[in-house]
Amino acid sequence: MNQVVIPIPVASIGRQRKRSQPKGRQVDPAALAEVRAVLGDMPRRRDLLIEHLHAINDRYGQLAVPHLAALAAELKLSQAEVYEVATFYHHFDVVRGDADGNIAPPPAVTVRVCEGIACELAGARDLLQRLPALLDADVRVVAAPCIGRCEKAPAALVGQNPVDHADPATIAQRVSARATRHDPEPWIGMNAYVQQGGYALLRALADGTLAAEDAIVAMEQAGLRGLGGAGFPAGRKWRIVRSEPGPRLMAVNIDEGEPGTFKDRVYLERDPHRFLEGMLIAARVVEIDAIYIYLRDEYAGCRALLTDALRELAEAPPCTGLPPISLRRGAGAYICGEESAMIESIEGKRGWPRLRPPYVAQVGLFGRPTLEHNFETLYWVRDILERGPGWFASQGRHGRKGLRSFSVSGRVKRPGVHLAPAGITVRELIDEYSGGMLDGHTFYGYLPGGASGGILPASLGDIPLDFDTLQPHGCFIGSAAVVVLSDHDRAVDVARNLMHFFRHESCGQCTPCRVGTAKASELIAAPKWDLDALADLSAVMRDASICGLGQAAPNPIDSVVKYFPHELQ
C-alpha cells in the first residue's frame, strides 16, 4: 500500500505561534508583594518551603492559590512542587477560589476535636456531633487524628490552644476568647538546670575529661534502645554513624503521632534542657555538623518552650563548638514519624518514606550520613552517663532490662506517663501505677503499642511489656502507648477506629497501603466480616508496603479475628 506523504513548506519548519502570555498560572503582583512581606528576611531556600507555607498560613488563615504561585516564583520552584507539598499536609488549608477567582475568607477559628481511640472512648464522637450547632457559623469544627493528649481525653484544639477534658461549654469559652496558643506549666530553665549539674557531661566531652569512645561503650552496656518504636540499640547507632565519612547530620524526631502516645510531650514540657544536653552529647560523640529538630505542629506550646530553651542555650553556651540547631515544624502528617519520611519533610518535601537501602545512617538528610533519634532516647543519655550503664541495665522485671516510659490511657483511674521497669505486665501497670480500673469497669483488653501494636485480650495480660516479647502474639510494644479497654468496649469498634486512622494517614505513595487501608476500612464496616478477603489483604499489605504504616495497619484487624472472634458472631 502506497503511503501518502504531505509535504511541509520549508519556511514553516520551526515556526511557532507566539503566545500572548506564558503558559500556566500567572503570578499576581499583589500576591507576590504579600508573600514577600510575610517572609521578610527568611532565607529563600528549598528546604524551608514548609516553614514558608506555615508563615503564610498563619498570617492569612489559609493558603490561597495566588499566594502559592507567588511563593513558587519567590523560591524559583515550579508551582506544581509547591502545590503538591501544600496539599500533602493536613494543617495547610489550600483554597482555590471560585470560577471568577474570588477567594473566600478563612473561618474565624478552627476547632479540631481529637477522634483518636482514647478520645473516642471518652466521648469524642458525641462531642463532634454536638459542637457545630453550639458554635457560631464562622467557626469550623473538624475531626482530627490523635493530638497527643490522650491522658486528658477527650481533647481538642481551638486554633493552637489545647482544651483538655473537653466539653461544649469549655470549647465555646475558648472560641470566644480566640486563644491561639497554649504554654505548658513552668518548666526547668537553663539556670536551674545548670545548678542541678546540667551540661557538666557536655563540658567534660568538650575538654576531653570524658572520651567519646567511653560514652559509646556506656550506651552500649546500658542497652538503651530507640524509644520511638523501632528499638535499635542507641550505642550501636552512634558507632555506625560515627564511622561514616563527614559531614554528618542529626535529625531528632518529636513527631509522636502514634495514637495513644504522649510521653515525649510530657517530658519536653518538664525538662527540655535534659533532652538538649543528651542531644548535644550525641552530636559531640558522633561529630555532627548540624542538628535538625522536627516537632509536630499540634505541640504549639512545646514549640514556644523549645524556642525559648534554644535561645537560652545560644545566649549562654556551656562549651564552644556547638553545632547549629534548626527547629522545624511539622504540618500534620502521621507518616512523618517514620524516619525517612521525616527527613523528606525537613528537606521541604512531601513526607514520603524512602526505599532502603541505603539507610539513613549512610544516606540521610541532604544526602549525608544522619544520626536519627527519638526525643526520649536522648532524654536518658545524661542519666545513663552520670549514673553508669549498670544503673539503667539493672532495672526491669521478668527477665527484662531497663526502664520504659508508658503512655497509659483508656479505662484507668490515673492515666498519664508512668516510668516503670521494662518487662512489667499490663496488669501490674494498671494496678501499681495507674490506680486500677475505673469504677464499674472490668479489664477486657489492651493495646500494648498504640494503634500499630495490635490488640490483646485480658487473658494475655501477664505478658512482659518490652521489645521482642509481644511478637509471638502478633503484636509489638512500639513507643509503649498502652490503651486499656474494659467490658464497656468492643475490640471490633477499636479496630474500626484504628483502620479509619490508617486510611486517613496513608501517604498514598504505595498501592498496597493506599488501597489496602481503604479496602480494609470498607470490609470491617460491614456487620459480617469477609475473613478470607481480610486475610488476603493483610498478607499483601505486610509483604508489599514500603514502610511500617502499611505493614502494621492490619494488626488491629488480625488481632480481633484471632483473640476476639466472639465479637464477630
**Mean pLDDT rounded to a whole number for the chain:** 94
pLDDT at position 102: 85
**416: helix, strand or coil:** strand
pLDDT band at 183 (very low <50, low <70, confident <90, very high): low
Confirm whether 16 is domain-assigned. Answer: no
Confirm whether 12 is domain-assigned. Answer: no
pLDDT band at 186 (very low <50, low <70, confident <90, very high): confident
pLDDT over 70 (residue 24): no
Please state the φ and ψ torsions of residue 308, each to the nearest 5 degrees: -65, -40
Confirm whether 6 is domain-assigned. Answer: no
Burial (CB < 10 A; 0-12, 13-18, 19+), residue 243, is: exposed
* 218 and 367 share one domain: yes
Dihedral sign, Cα of residue 189, residue 191, residue 195, residue 201:
positive
Find the Cα–Cα–Cα–Cα dihedral 126, 127, 130, 133, rounded to 10°. -160
Dihedral sign, Cα of residue 427, residue 433, residue 436, residue 442:
negative
Q: What is the DSSP string of 102-157?
A: PPPPPPSEEEEEE-SHHHHHTTHHHHHHHHHHHS-TTEEEEEES--S-GGG-S-EE
pLDDT over 80 (residue 153): yes
| 108 touches 116 (CB < 8 A) | no
Residues 26-43 have a mean pLDDT of 97
* 245 and 376 share one domain: yes
pLDDT digits (tens, 9 = 90+) for 221-269: 999 999 988 889 999 999 999 999 999 999 999 999 999 999 999 999 9
| 298 touches 264 (CB < 8 A) | no
Dihedral sign, Cα of residue 78, residue 81, residue 84, residue 87:
negative
The model carries a pTM of 0.94
pLDDT digits (tens, 9 = 90+) for 488-526: 999 999 999 999 999 999 999 999 999 999 999 999 999
pLDDT over 50 (residue 28): yes
Among the candidates 363, 387, 411, a domain finishes at 387
| 53 touches 85 (CB < 8 A) | yes
pLDDT digits (tens, 9 = 90+) for 379-404: 999 999 999 999 999 999 999 999 99
Cell numbers for 157: 484544639
pLDDT over 50 (residue 1): no
* 285 and 220 share one domain: yes
CATH code of the domain in which 41 resides: 1.10.10.1590
* 462 and 383 share one domain: no
Q: What is the DSSP letter of 396?
A: -
pLDDT band at 290 (very low <50, low <70, confident <90, very high): very high
Among the candidates 95, 126, 148, a domain finishes at 95
Please state the φ and ψ torsions of residue 271, each to the nearest 5 degrees: -145, 70
Beta-carbon contacts of residue 262 (< 8 Å; ≥ 6 apart) = 148, 149, 150, 151, 256, 407, 409, 417, 481
CATH code of the domain in which 457 resides: 3.10.20.600
Say how far apart CA 351 and CA 69 lie, in whole Å: 21
Q: How many domains does the chain have?
A: 4
* 210 and 357 share one domain: yes
CATH code of the domain in which 138 resides: 3.40.30.10
pLDDT over 70 (residue 22): no
Confirm whether 475 is domain-assigned. Answer: yes
* 75 and 152 share one domain: no
Q: Which residues pair with 412 in a beta bridge?
A: 437
Among the candidates 328, 353, 387, a domain finishes at 387
CATH code of the domain in which 282 resides: 3.40.50.11540
Confirm whether 338 is domain-assigned. Answer: yes
* 270 and 412 share one domain: no
CB atoms within 10 A of CB 503: 18
Say how far apart CA 50 and CA 307 lie, in whole Å: 18
Burial (CB < 10 A; 0-12, 13-18, 19+), residue 245, is: exposed
* 305 and 414 share one domain: no
DSSP H or E run through 371: strand 370-374
40: left (phi over 0), alpha (psi -120 to 50) or beta: left
* 562 and 419 share one domain: yes
Residues 532-540 have a mean pLDDT of 97
Cell numbers for 156: 481538642
Q: What is the DSSP letter of 473?
A: G
**Percent of the chain scoring above 90 in pLDDT:** 90
**454: helix, strand or coil:** coil
Q: What is the DSSP letter of 448?
A: S
pLDDT band at 569 (very low <50, low <70, confident <90, very high): confident
Confirm whether 550 is domain-assigned. Answer: yes
Tell me the residue length of the chain: 569
Residues 421-439 have a mean pLDDT of 98
**Residue 115 lies in domain:** 109-177
Confirm whether 8 is domain-assigned. Answer: no
Q: Between the CA of residue 333 and those of 70, 85, 147, 428, what are the distances in Å? A: 25, 12, 11, 34
* 332 and 383 share one domain: yes
pLDDT at position 14: 52
pLDDT band at 122 (very low <50, low <70, confident <90, very high): very high
pLDDT over 60 (residue 19): no
Cell numbers for 253: 524526631
Confirm whether 56 is domain-assigned. Answer: yes
Beta-carbon contacts of residue 258 (< 8 Å; ≥ 6 apart) = 146, 229, 334, 337, 450, 451, 452, 478, 479, 481
For residue 561, the one-letter residue type is: V
* 43 and 145 share one domain: no
**16: helix, strand or coil:** coil
Cell numbers for 306: 523549645
* 195 and 260 share one domain: yes
Cell numbers for 67: 499566594
| 230 touches 241 (CB < 8 A) | no
Q: Establish whether the linkage from the previous residue to 22 is cis, with ω within 30° of 0.
A: no
